[in-house]
Structure 1
Amino acid sequence: MLYSHFCHQIFAYPLGTKRLVLALSGGLDSRVMLDLLARFINEHPDYHADAVYVHHGLSTNADIWAQQCVVWAESSGLRCDIERVHCELGGGASVEQAARNARYQALSNHIQAGDTLLTAQHADDQIETVLLALKRGSGPAGLAAMPVLTTFALGQHLRPLLAISRADIESYGILHQLQWVEDESNQDQRYDRNFIRHQITPLLNDRWPGIRKAVSRSAYLCGEQEGLLEELLSYQLQQALQADGSLRITENISTRLGMALIRQWLKQQAVIMPSLAQLEQIWFNVVQAKVDANPQVCWQQYQVRRYQQQLYLLEQWPDISDWQHEVIINQPCQLPQALGAVCLQQHAQAGLRLPYTDEVVSIRFDYLGPEIKPQGRSGKRKFKKLLQEYQVPSWLRRRTPMLFYGEQLVAIADVFIVDEFIAPVTATTTVQFIWQRS
Structure 2
Amino acid sequence: MKPDCEETLRRHIAQRLGGRRAVLVALSGGLDSTVLLDALALLRGRQMPDLAPRAVYINHGLSVHADDWAQHCAALCRRLDIPFQQLRVRVDSADGGIEAAARSARYQALAQALLPGETLLTAQHQDDQGETLLLALKRGSGPAGLSAMAALSPFHGHALLRPLLDISRARLRDYAQSRCLNWIEDESNQDPRFDRNFLRLRVIPLLSQRWPHFSRAAARSAALCADQETLLDELLAETLQQLTGADNSLDLAPMMGMSAIRRGAVLRRWLASFGMDMPSQEQLARIWTEVALSRRDAEPMLRLGDRQIRRFRQRLFALPLWPSLRERVLIWRDVGQMLPLPDDLGLLRQGSGGEAVRRPRADERISVRFSATGTLHILGRRHGRPVKKLWQELGVAPWQRERTPLVYYNEQLITAPGVFITREGQVGEGDMGLNLEWIR
Q: TM-score, normalised by structure 1?
A: 0.91
Pair 115,367 (structure 1): closer, same or farther in 2 beyond 3 Å: closer
Give the C-alpha shift of residue 16 in structure 1. Answer: 4.2
Which of 262, 267, 273 does residue 262 from structure 1 map onto? 267
The reply to whether residue 352 of structure 1 matches residue 357 of structure 2 is yes
How many correspondences in the alignment?
433
Match of residue 177 from structure 2: 174
| Structure 1 residue 114: Cα displacement | 4.3
Deviation at 1:128, TM superposition (A): 1.3
Query: Which residue of structure 2 lines up, in the alignment, with residue 106 of structure 1?
Result: 109
Mapping of residues 109-128 of structure 1, within 5 Å: 109-128=112-131
Offset of residue 348 of structure 1: 9.3
Kindly provide the CA deviation profile for residues 374-404 of structure 1, in whole angstroms up to 9, marking residues without a partner as x.
1111222222221111111222222322111
> Does 1:59 find its partner at 2:53?
no
Gaps of 5+ in 2: none
Q: Match of 1:424, SS?
A: coil
2:285 aligned with 1:283: no
**Residue 386 in structure 1 maps to residue 394 in structure 2:** no
CA contact (8 A) 1:16 1:114 kept: no
Gaps of 5+ in 1: none
Q: Residues of 1 paired with 2:72 and 2:369: CA distance?
A: 52
Matched, 1:20 2:23: yes
Deviation beyond 6 Å, 4+ runs, structure 1? none
Classify the secondary structure of the residue corresponding to 2:266. helix
TM-score by length of 2: 0.91
Tell me the secondary structure at the aligned position of residue 431 of structure 1: coil
The superposition leaves residues 152-179 of structure 1 with CA deviations (integer Å, 9 ceiling, x where unpaired) of 3454332222222222222332333221
- Following superposition, the deviation at residue 123 of structure 1 comes to 1.4
Is structure 2 residue 332 aligned with structure 1 residue 332?
A: no
The residue identity in structure 2 corresponding to 1:338 is D
One-letter code aligned to 1:335:
L
1:48 pairs with 2:55: no
Kept in 2, the 8 Å contact 1:55–1:85? The answer is yes
Superimposed CA distance per residue, residues 187-214 of structure 1 (whole angstroms, 9 cap, x where no aligned partner): 2222211121112111111111111111
In 2, Cα distance between equivalents of 1:225 and 1:235: 17
**Equivalent residue for 2:154, pick from 136, 151, 156:** 151
Distance 1:34 1:353, change over 3 A: same
Return the offset for 1:260: 1.5
1:110 to partner: Cα distance: 4.7
Aligned partner of 1:206 among 200, 209, 224: 209
For residues 282 and 389 of structure 2, the distance between their equivalents in structure 1, rounded to whole angstroms, comes to: 34
The alignment yields a C-alpha RMSD, in angstroms, of 2.3
Given residue 320 of structure 2, which amino acid in structure 1 is its aligned partner?
Answer: E
| 2:11 maps to which of 8, 30, 35 | 8
1:135–1:348 distance in 2 versus 1, CA, 3 Å: closer
* Same amino acid, percent of matched pairs: 43
Superposed CA deviations along residues 109-144 of structure 1, whole A, max 9, x for unmatched, are 454454333221111111111111112221111111
Change (3 A) 1:199 1:14: closer
**In 2: Cα distance, 1:411 partner to 1:83 partner:** 45
Q: What residue is the counterpart of 2:141 in the other structure?
A: 138
Distance 1:31 1:60 in 2: 21
